[in-house]
Each structure stands twice: as C-alpha cells, then as structure tokens.
C-alpha cells in the first residue's frame, strides 16, 4: 500500500495540528502571567518617562513626559497651549507649525524629548489680544482665515518665512542661489506650500504676508 504524502492530510488532522501548536506556544505566556500575579506585562507595556525642560514663549517649563510624547501633545495636553492645532497628525497640513530655535517645524512629527533646552514659540507667544504681532494683525485686516483652524500654523510659518528670506535662505523656486531671495508671489507660495487652508483663503494669506514683508524690508 503506498505511503500517504503530506498532501493527503485530512482537514481534521490539520485542525488538530494547529490547535496543538497554539496550546504549546501559549505555555510561556501562561507561566509568565502566573509569575506576575496574572498580569502578562511586557517591556512595551511600561512607559519610559523623562524629565524635559525647554523655554516656551519666554518661560522656562519643566515636564515629566512619556518619551513617546510629541512636541505638539506636550504643548496642548501638558501646558494647555491649544492654539497649535492637530490637523492631520502626519506632517502634511502645517496646522501644528511652531517656531523652534528659530526654525519652523511640524510639531506633530517631533518628540518633545528631542528639544531639551530648546526655545519654542507657539502662536500664543507671538502676540495677545490688544497687542497683536504684525502678522496676526495683517491676517485680521486681510481676512486671511475663514474657519481659523489652520491660522495659528499659517501665522507661525509666515513669520518664519520672512526670517528665512531675510537670512538669504533659498527655496526650491529661487533662481539665483547666490543672490538674496526676493519675496515674489512664486517664492511666497512655494515657502507656504506646507500649510494647507481647507477653506481656500490663500490669496488673502498672501496679501497679509506681503504687507508685513513690505513693512519689515
């Protein structure tokens, strides 16, 4: 009589084999749970905490944070600076833009612990009602917002853009890399392209930034 091959296994035999394998592999987990009083704790279940200090809007702040906390969540959930918005949480919309050590960043893509000792400016640090930053005032004047959700990131980014131009930092559309960039319409739109306005107030935003640029040139 011919010897049966592996392909001759019945469905019943396959199910029995699968159940046996599952039972065997679950033994270490069960033993671990018994040793820990019923809790199958693993290293990933235990948060790693760190003390972080940075200067936020001119004030030294010290926080004990889970090392996985983003800079955006540190500002919103721990310091209650909710002006910076969580739009896409993927670095695509720019609503969370902050100015860190003089450069604009998407705060949803960076960890708070990476900015130990850093200088952080959120929208709350630029100006206050009754004492607006020139860029904030220009956005109001030119109606550079509609729903307002993206506006804090737009304004922080716009302030940083003017500093970039003043510092001579080129963009992807700068024709002469050796010359000081000029804030043309193409330059402005390229530099602000990472900030999405779902309401479509782009022309008004451009007018507001251009006006402030003209005053500070």
Task: Give the pLDDT confidence of 34-51 residue by residue, as tens digits.
Answer: 555 555 555 566 679 999
Count of Cβ atoms closer than 10 Å to residue 101 Cβ: 12
pLDDT of 85 above 90: yes
Task: Compute the Cα dihedral for 191, 193, 198, 203 and give only its sign.
Answer: positive
Mean pLDDT across 9-36: 55
For residue 77, the SS3 value is: helix
pLDDT of 31 above 60: no
Task: Tell me the CA distances in angstroms from 14 to 158, 171, 179, 190, one per residue in order.
Answer: 64, 62, 73, 60
CATH for 127-217 is: 1.10.150.120
What is residue 33's predicted lDDT score, i.e. its pLDDT?
46
Which segments of 13-172 are extended strands (E)?
49-56, 59-66, 97-100, 103-106, 119-121
**pTM across the whole model:** 0.77
CATH for 47-126 is: 3.10.20.30
What is residue 216's predicted lDDT score, i.e. its pLDDT?
59
Q: Please state, for a pLDDT cut of 70, what percent of the chain lies above it.
A: 78
pLDDT band at residue 184 using 50, 70 and 90 as cut-offs: very high
Distance (Å, whole) CA 188 – CA 203: 11
Torsion of CA 52, 55, 56, 61, to 10 degrees: 50
User: Which residues belong to CATH 3.10.20.30 in the chain?
Assistant: 47-126
Mean pLDDT across 186-190: 95
pLDDT tens-digit series, residues 127-149: 988 999 999 999 999 999 999 99
Q: Are 183 and 210 in contact (CB under 8 A)?
A: yes
pLDDT band at residue 52 using 50, 70 and 90 as cut-offs: very high
pLDDT band at residue 24 using 50, 70 and 90 as cut-offs: very low
User: Which residues belong to CATH 1.10.150.120 in the chain?
Assistant: 127-217
pLDDT of 29 above 80: no
Task: Compute the Cα dihedral for 142, 205, 85, 199 and give only its sign.
Answer: positive
Average pLDDT, the chain: 86
Sheet harboring 49-56: ordered strands across?
59-66, 49-56, 119-121, 97-100, 103-106
């Amino acid at each position: 009589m011919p010897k049966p091959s592996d392909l001759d296994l019945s469905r019943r035999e396959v199910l029995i084999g699968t159940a046996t394998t599952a039972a065997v592999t679950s033994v270490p987990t069960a033993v671990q749970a018994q040793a820990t009083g019923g809790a199958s704790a693993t290293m990933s279940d235990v948060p790693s905490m760190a003390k972080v200090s940075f200067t936020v809007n001119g004030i030294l702040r010290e926080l004990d944070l889970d090392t996985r906390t983003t800079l955006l969540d540190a500002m919103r959930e721990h310091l209650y600076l909710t002006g910076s918005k969580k739009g896409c949480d993927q670095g695509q919309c720019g609503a969370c833009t902050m100015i860190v050590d003089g450069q604009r960043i998407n705060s949803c893509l960076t960890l708070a612990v990476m900015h130990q000792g850093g200088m952080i400016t959120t929208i709350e640090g630029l100006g206050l009602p009754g004492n607006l930053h020139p860029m904030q005032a220009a956005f109001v004047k030119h109606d550079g917002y509609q729903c307002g959700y993206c506006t804090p990131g737009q304004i922080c980014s716009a302030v940083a853009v003017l500093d970039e131009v003043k510092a001579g930092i080129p963009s992807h559309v700068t024709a002469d890399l050796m010359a000081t960039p000029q804030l043309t319409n193409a330059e402005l739109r390229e530099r602000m392209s990472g900030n999405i306005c779902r309401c479509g107030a782009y022309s008004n935003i451009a007018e507001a930034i251009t006006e402030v640029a003209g005053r500070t040139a």
